[in-house]
């Protein structure tokens, strides 16, 4: 098994379901106001406004809205996104912890019209959540998308090493 495939199998095998009382591991905002027509858009000053979110997604080629931080994800899906980026050697990316900012948490969902976290943006464009990123990782699309951003995936080098052997 190539390094990339071997790394991916554990992602599939991981149980991301609810574990333990009181610990919300993911990701649809049950109980939160999710109507797209209101909330979160309190004008330019609010951290969840369209303008504020727009600024965040454009600030860097790779931007992730997640639960917790890359060093300490607080959600299985958010963790998977961080691990996938790590596999590709993407260490330089912006991560925003939505658990720290309720307005941003709702604002980002309004902005992308997507009800769950994590959310991955490449070059300011919403790419998807954990499942889509995993799919892109497994079918090679992620390597291509990173290349478009001028980022060379670490997995390309890993495969080169494999071939040499």
135 scored as a contact of another protein (CB under 8 A): yes
Nearer to another protein, 25 or 156 (CB): 25
Nearer to another protein, 29 or 158 (CB): 29
Residue in 3, 16, 39, 99 binding another protein, rule: CB under 8 A: 16
Q: Residue 40 Cβ, how far from another protein at the closest point, in Å?
A: 16
DSSP string, 72-102: SBSSHHHHHHHHHHHHTT----EEEEGGG-H
In 3-state terms, the chain is what percent helix, strand and coil (to 5)? 45, 15, 40
| Cα–Cα separations (whole angstroms), residue 65 to 2, 14, 42, 45, 101 | 30, 21, 20, 19, 11
Nearer to another protein, 24 or 60 (CB): 24
Measured between alpha carbons, how far is 159 from 157 in angstroms, rounded to an integer?
5
Measured between alpha carbons, how far is 108 from 116 in angstroms, rounded to an integer?
9
Alpha carbon 154 to its chain's center: 18
Write out the binding residues for another protein, residues 17-76 only, by CB under 8 A.
17-18, 24-28, 30, 34
Number of amino acids touching another protein (CB under 8 A):
22
138 scored as a contact of another protein (CB under 8 A): no
Write out the binding residues for another protein, residues 94-123 only, by CB under 8 A.
113-116
Binding site for another protein (CB under 8 A): 16-18, 24-28, 30, 34, 77, 113-116, 126-129, 131-132, 135
């Amino acid at each position: 098994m190539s390094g990339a495939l071997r790394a991916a199998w554990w992602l599939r095998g991981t149980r991301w379901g609810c574990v333990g009382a009181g610990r919300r591991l993911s990701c649809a905002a049950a109980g939160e106001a999710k109507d797209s027509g209101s909330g979160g858009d309190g004008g330019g000053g609010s951290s969840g406004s369209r303008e504020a979110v727009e600024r965040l997604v454009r600030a860097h080629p790779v931007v992730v809205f997640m639960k917790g931080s890359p060093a300490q994800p607080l959600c299985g899906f958010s963790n998977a996104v961080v691990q996938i980026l790590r596999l590709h050697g993407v260490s330089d990316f912006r991560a925003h912890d939505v658990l720290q900012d309720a307005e941003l948490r709702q604002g980002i969902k309004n902005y992308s019209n997507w009800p769950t976290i994590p959310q991955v943006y490449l070059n300011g464009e919403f790419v998807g959540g954990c499942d889509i990123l995993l799919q892109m990782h497994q079918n090679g699309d992620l390597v291509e998308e990173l290349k478009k951003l001028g980022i060379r995936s670490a997995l390309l080098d890993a495969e080169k090493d494999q071939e040499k052997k």
